[in-house]
Amino acid sequence: MSEARFEISAGFLPLLDSALLVAAREKGFAAAEGIELTLLRETSWANIRDRLAVGHFQVAHMLAPMPIACNLGLTPLAANTVVPMALGLGGNAVTVSNALWHDMAGHGASDDLSPRAVGEALRAVVAARARSNASPLRLGVVHPHSGHNYELRYWLAACGIDPDRDVEIVILPPPLMADALGSGALDGFCAGEPWNTAAVLLGHGRIATVKAKIWRSSPEKVLGADARWGEANAEALSALLRAIHHAAQWCAEPANHAELAGIMAAPAYVGRPAGWMLPALSGHLGTAVDSLVDVDDFFVPQAKAATFPWKSHALWFYSQMVRWGQVEHSAANAAIARDTYRPDLYRTALKPLGAALPGANAKVEGALPVPTPVGSAGASLVLGPDGFFDGGLFDPDDLDGYIAAQLNVAG
């Protein structure tokens, strides 16, 4: 191991997809790069954003859209933030209360997590409640500028449910979701693991569908870095990216999943039973107490360029910010979103390792129905299958057209 040359503090939330940072520290990958990595557990995404802004840590486990929102000035206190690396693909689910699932099952909701069948059943329940003057369903997401919020809204809207009129969407930290479902404070939520599995195992609800079926091979968490710190400490940032790359490879090995679940279960990290972590790691998802469903690519830590910060991911999130009225669309705002994600920093750090580096910085999202070899530097690279459940495509070169079409649908 190298003698420590860099001291880096990283914030994180108790979620399974903080695993790459945790493994970088616990399995010695950070130390091998000369990094003394301190991990600071936080209770909410707002705290992560604020503590990065005031310099309590230099990097953080962050919601993929959050750095874009910070740079667009959508938050009251935020550092200029860059994304030099993603922390995996997928890992989210939509979980509903037992009572809501009972009603949805009566309208044809399926056990196979099909977003279309489940969404149409939910639409029927929403319509029935409206006819009887019942209060709207209350659904939780973890932050306004989160993949959870945007994928939930995308799914609802594509199934004929207006997210702003037909249901109520509220904000709650992920560790509180399962308890809120159990208490009746929520009818459903979209959050990362292990909190969906927790709701099932505690008897509070049922997993209705998953991110991996709403938008397969889609981004979730990223490494956010204070831009000024990253520019002044380029060598330290590159070393951290290499450490996380090695950690991602380790996390991806099925033989390591039991050990990883045990590490994540520690009080310093997720602080919940290791058995809560294993379903997401294996893809064998317990959707209900008596139901087990295998989900391809539920959580992908390393394959399919899972840690590459695609500019097309950044622009899709930006398109949803525009769609749901969080920001006005302009060429300047689109450029801010695009430039938040920094594949150049990723390439600089990982090229010496011979890692698979995509030949492009952006791609058409939803265009690959099957696993597809693509041009790359370094190791060979296979992308896909990806895809939105409704067959949609997002071409970052036609951002204006995509946003206009979505606004017309929303209107």
List Cβ neighbours of 179 (8 Å cut-off, separation of 6 or more).
204
Percent with pLDDT over 90 in the chain:
94
- The CA distance from 31 to 269, in Å, is 19
pLDDT the model gives residue 233: 98
Residue whose C-alpha is closest to residue 220's, from 210, 230, 228, 229: 210
pLDDT digits (tens, 9 = 90+) for 75-101: 888 889 999 999 999 999 999 999 999
* 3-class state of residue 140 by DSSP: strand
Percent with pLDDT over 70 in the chain:
99
Q: Do residues 225 and 59 lie in contact, with contact meaning Cβ atoms separated by under 8 Å?
A: yes
pLDDT the model gives residue 280: 96
Residue whose C-alpha is closest to residue 296's, from 116, 64, 89: 89
Residue 1 binned pLDDT confidence (cut-offs 50, 70, 90): very low
pLDDT the model gives residue 155: 98
* 3-class state of residue 225 by DSSP: strand
Based on its alpha-carbon atoms, the radius of gyration of the chain, rounded to whole angstroms, reads 20
pLDDT digits (tens, 9 = 90+) for 9-49: 999 999 999 999 999 999 999 999 999 999 999 999 999 99
For residues 249-266, average pLDDT: 98
Residue 378 binned pLDDT confidence (cut-offs 50, 70, 90): confident
| Phi-psi sector, 339: left (phi>0), alpha (psi -120 to 50), beta | alpha
For residues 280-296, average pLDDT: 93
- The CA distance from 227 to 340, in Å, is 9
Q: How far is CA 230 from CA 31, 170, 223, 288, 345, in A?
A: 19, 34, 12, 44, 10
Q: Please give the helix or strand (H or E) that residue 279 lies within, else none.
A: helix 278-282
Q: Who has greater pLDDT, 409 or 377?
A: 377
* Statement: residue 290 has pLDDT above 90: no
- The CA distance from 100 to 206, in Å, is 9
For residues 320-345, average pLDDT: 98
Residues across the chain: 411
For residues 396-411, average pLDDT: 89
Q: How many of the other CB atoms lie within 10 Å of CB of 99?
A: 11
- One-letter amino acid at 229 equals W
- For the chain, the average pLDDT equals 96
Within 170-210, where are the H helices? Answer: 177-183, 195-201
pLDDT digits (tens, 9 = 90+) for 154-209: 999 999 999 999 999 999 999 999 999 999 999 999 999 999 999 999 999 999 99
For residues 345-360, average pLDDT: 96
pLDDT the model gives residue 31: 98
Q: How far apart are the first and last CA of the chain?
A: 58
- One-letter amino acid at 71 equals N
For residues 230-239, average pLDDT: 98
pLDDT digits (tens, 9 = 90+) for 142-163: 999 999 999 999 999 999 999 9
Burial class of residue 294, CB neighbours in 10 A (0-12, 13-18, 19+): exposed
8-state DSSP, 135: P
Residue whose C-alpha is closest to residue 403's, from 299, 339, 328, 345: 328
* Statement: residue 3 has pLDDT above 80: no
